[in-house]
Amino acid sequence: MSSVLGVSVGSGAVRVARPLANSPEHPTAENFDVQAVPVGARRVEELAADAVGSILAADPHIVATAIAYRDEQHARAIRAEMARRQFTNYELIPDVVAALEFLEYSGELQGYGTVALYDLGASGLSVSVVDTGSRQINITERTSDISGDYLDSLIREQQIASGRIAHPPDAAGLAELDSLCRQAKEQLSSSSAVALPSTEGLVLLSQENFEALIMLAVESSARMTRDVILRSEQPVQAVALIGGCAQIPLVARVLRRWLGVPVIVAPGPGSVATRGAALLARPVRQRAANTPFPNAFEDALPMPAPAAPSWRSRRTDPTTGPGEKFSRRREISVAGVAVGALVVVAAIGVSIGWGPQVLEHDSQSSDAASSSVPPTTTRTPAVEATTAPPATSDATNESLAAPPPRQATTTTEAAPPAPGPNTFTIIPGLPPVVVPTLPPLFPQQPAP
C-alpha cells in the first residue's frame, strides 16, 4: 500500500510524519506516525536529507515527500542538500501553508475566514495573517528576540543563580544543562513542578517560577502579534498557536487577554507543519528531457547574421576616439574606389571611340553636362509612339549588337580669345590656359 512522507526542518529538530493506515476523513495527531530527530551539532539541512534517505530506503511504498520550509534562504539550502543526494521525488511547501492545511482538515479552523498563525519555535517567533479560503498570506513577520532557546537560557541562568546548579566548566556541560532545562520546560506544560538530576546538581522548577521568568517575553510576543494584525488591516477572527513552545499554557492565556479573539492550540503543536506537509505530498511527475534537434534540421536553419560590433555603433570624440579614424579611412577608401571606377569607365570609352567626341565638347557647349540650361529637344507625338508596331526579337538583338548611328550635331562654337603673352596651349583640341599675371614681389623704387 502506498504512503506519503511529510518533513519539517526546524533549527532544534527535524520531524517526519507518515499517515497511518485507515486514517479518518479528519486526521488528528493520533493518526500520524511522528518522529523527531534532534539536530545537535550537525547542519539541519544535512540531517533532513539523511532522515529522508533512510526512511525512503526502509519503506519502498512511499511515493511522495513534502518538506516544509521557513523562508527562501531556508528552501535554497534544503534544495541544495537534496540535489547533492540526488533526491528528485519531493516538493517544498511553505510551513505556513502546511500548518494551515492540517488545521483546516482537522477541523480546528472551521468557521474562521482569516486567522493569525503564531509560530513559536526554537529559533524565533513568526506571526502570519492568512486567508483560509484563498490560502493567501497577507503579512508575515519574524523575530528572534523570543524563542525556545531564549526561554531555556532563562531557566538555566535561574538555576545557576539559585545555587543548586554549578556552572558547567566546558561547552559540553553547558549543552547538557540546556537540554535538561528544555526537558523541564516541556514537562511543565502538563505538570506543576519538575525535578531533573544532572551531574552539576538538581534542576528544580515550578510552574509559578517558570511563568514569572517568561512573562515579559510572552507579553512582548503578544504585543508583536497585535501590531502585525493591525498592520495587516484584516479582520482576524482567531489566532492559532503552533510550534514547540505553543504548548506552554501561559502563552495562550496572555494572547487571549491581549487580542480578545479565540486562541486555538491544536494537539501536538510542534508537528502541525509536519503533518500538514504529509497531507500535501504528491508524486512529482517526471518530465521528459528536451530532445536535441537533428543535424539536418540545424543545417536547414538559416544562420543569423553576426551582430555589429559595439565599436561600430559607438560615437566617439573625433579628437580622441579611434572609431573616427577608422571612419575617415573608410571614407578615403570608398572615394578611391569611386575614382578608380571613373578611370576605368573613361578608359573603356576612349577604347571604343568616344574619346574624340568627349574631347570635342568644352565647358562652353550647349549640350555639356555642367550646363544649367537643358538643351531643347523635339519630341514625337505620343500617338505615333502608341501606334508604332512592337519591335521583333531580331531587331532588338541587332540594336543591342551594334549601337545606333550617331546623328551629326551642329554646334556653334565661340571664337577663341586672341592669344596673349600669358596664353598657353597644353593639349591640342582643348581650350588654351591663361596664366594670371602676378604682381612683383618687391615694388620698384621711385627714380631719384
Tens of pLDDT, residue by residue over 54-82, are 999 998 889 999 999 988 998 999 999 99
Helix (H, G, I), strand (E, B) or coil at 169: coil
- Is 12 part of a structural domain of the chain? yes
Q: What is the CATH number of the domain that holds 94?
A: 3.30.420.40
Cα dihedral 421→426→428→432 (10° resolution): -40
CB neighbour class for 103 (10 Å; exposed up to 12, middle 13-18, buried from 19): buried
Q: Could you tell me if 152 and 182 are in contact, meaning their C-beta atoms sit under 8 angstroms apart?
A: yes
pLDDT at residue number 100: 94
Write out the three cell numbers for 401.
549588337
| Of 9-23, 153-167, 336-350, minimum mean pLDDT range | 336-350
- Is 257 part of a structural domain of the chain? no
State mean pLDDT over 2-11: 90
- Is 390 part of a structural domain of the chain? no
The single residue listed with the C-alpha cell 543569423 is: 304
Domain count, the chain: 1
Rounded to whole angstroms, the Cα distance separating 90 from 38 reads: 22
pLDDT at residue number 54: 92
Rounded to whole angstroms, the Cα distance separating 368 from 389 reads: 34
- Is 383 part of a structural domain of the chain? no
Q: 18 lies in which domain range? A: 1-108+269-286
State mean pLDDT over 212-224: 96
- Is 180 part of a structural domain of the chain? no
Cα dihedral 55→60→66→70 (10° resolution): 20
- Is 24 part of a structural domain of the chain? yes
- Is 93 part of a structural domain of the chain? yes
For residue 32, list its beta bridge partners: 19
Helix (H, G, I), strand (E, B) or coil at 137: strand
- Is 370 part of a structural domain of the chain? no
Indicate the pLDDT class of residue 419, thresholds 50, 70 and 90.
low
Rounded to whole angstroms, the Cα distance separating 166 from 199 reads: 9
CA 136 vs CA 60, 105, 130, 262: distances in Å: 35, 17, 6, 21
pTM attached to this predicted model = 0.62
Structural Rg of the chain based on CA atoms? 49
pLDDT at residue number 303: 38
